[in-house]
Structure 1
Amino acid sequence: MIIISQNPTEQEIIDFSLEKFRWKTEGKIDLVENLFDDELVFVHITGHITTKKEWISQLRCKSFVYNTIEPKEVSAKVYGNTAVLVGKAKFTVNGGSVYHLVYTEVYTNKNNHWKLVNLHTTSGW
């Protein structure tokens, strides 16, 4: 995997993102929920938009299950209290559907905690 970071804060954002993948595949939804900001906007590869509440509900009832997530490339850049992360990963979900995705994550620092406020995925790499 290729990791690009220029400073410790950028590495911290990358670490959060990679941990989030591990939590998703291990079913640790409470940890995922805590990382997501209450105002999270998630744009799926289909263009469908979900909120934090909707997405966490789908994960909890297992209507969407992450089997494996294999990061291929990731980089982050911090702009004050905002961080933007971009990456590529292979996602295997719902028992075998495979997606090669490019994703963008936007984090904001609220009360000295980084929260994911926007997640946008697209297909293709």
Structure 2
Amino acid sequence: MKTIFFSLSLIFAAVNFCSAQTPVSAQVPTKAEQEVLDLSKAKWLWMSDKKVDTLNNLFVDRSVFVHMGGTWGKQRELDVIKSGSIRYKKAEIYTASVNIFGNTAILLNDIDLVAVVGGNEVVNPFMVTEVYIKENGKWKMGSLTFSQLRRPVKLKIDK
């Protein structure tokens, strides 16, 4: 009888613990979190459309960019986008979450990125880490890091 009671207690506790955990993606974002999420989505479009002037205003002067092929600063990232040496065609976002710590926001995007690199179209699954800093009431990007995922590409591309 004690064993049954103990087992039922453990099951009850496990169910309560699991139901108390709310996945990050299921939480309703705060106003500030939504601002960062919206800015990130817009940034992907600006990169695709080569809106270098808009991106210049988004990136802080000492921003850093980590790609599969190297790490560089703001000016080189803008030059890469403008020249098309990396052409960001489409970022298909599957999940996005943001955590804000004071004036710093860290955003994670699980994406498939369609890009043209060295004249070849490639599709890669990435977890992209974006760091934003709030300066004078506006969010600015301080860092963008691409980490390739081991999952298969989810995006279906018509050729």
Q: Give the TM-score of the pair, scaled to structure 1.
A: 0.90
The aligned residue for residue 142 of structure 2 is 117
Residue 44 of structure 1 aligns with an amino acid whose one-letter code is H
Distance 1:4 1:50 in 2: 34
Q: With CA pairs under 8 Å and 6+ residues apart, which has the higher RCO, 1 or 2?
A: 1
The aligned residue for residue 123 of structure 2 is 98
Contact in 2 for aligned 1:90/1:101 (Cα 8 Å)? yes
Distance 1:35 1:88 in 2: 21
Distance 1:58 1:81 in 2: 29
The aligned residue for residue 55 of structure 1 is 77
Q: Per the alignment, in what secondary structure is the counterpart of residue 6 of structure 1?
A: coil
The aligned residue for residue 9 of structure 2 is none
How far is 1:72 from its partner? 0.9
**Which one has the bigger strand percentage?**
1
1:83-112 Cα deviation digits (max 9, x unpaired): 110111111111521111001111111111
Distance 2:123 2:73 in 1: 23
Aligned residues: 123
Distance 1:31 1:83 in 2: 20
Percent identity over the alignment is: 29
The aligned residue for residue 37 of structure 1 is 60
Q: Give the TM-score of the pair, scaled to structure 2.
A: 0.72
Supply the RMSD in Å over aligned alpha carbons.
1.6
Distance 1:104 1:56 in 2: 18
Q: More deviation in 79-88 or 29-38?
A: 29-38
**Which one has the bigger helix percentage?**
2
1:26 partnered with 2:26: no
Residue 101 of structure 1 aligns with an amino acid whose one-letter code is F
1:52-107 Cα deviation digits (max 9, x unpaired): 00110111111111111111110001111111101111111115211110011111
The aligned residue for residue 39 of structure 2 is 16
Residue 64 of structure 2 aligns with an amino acid whose one-letter code is V
The aligned residue for residue 107 of structure 1 is 132
Distance 1:6 1:97 in 2: 32
Q: Which runs of 4+ in 1 moved over 6 A?
A: none
Unaligned runs of 5+ in 2: 1-24, 152-159
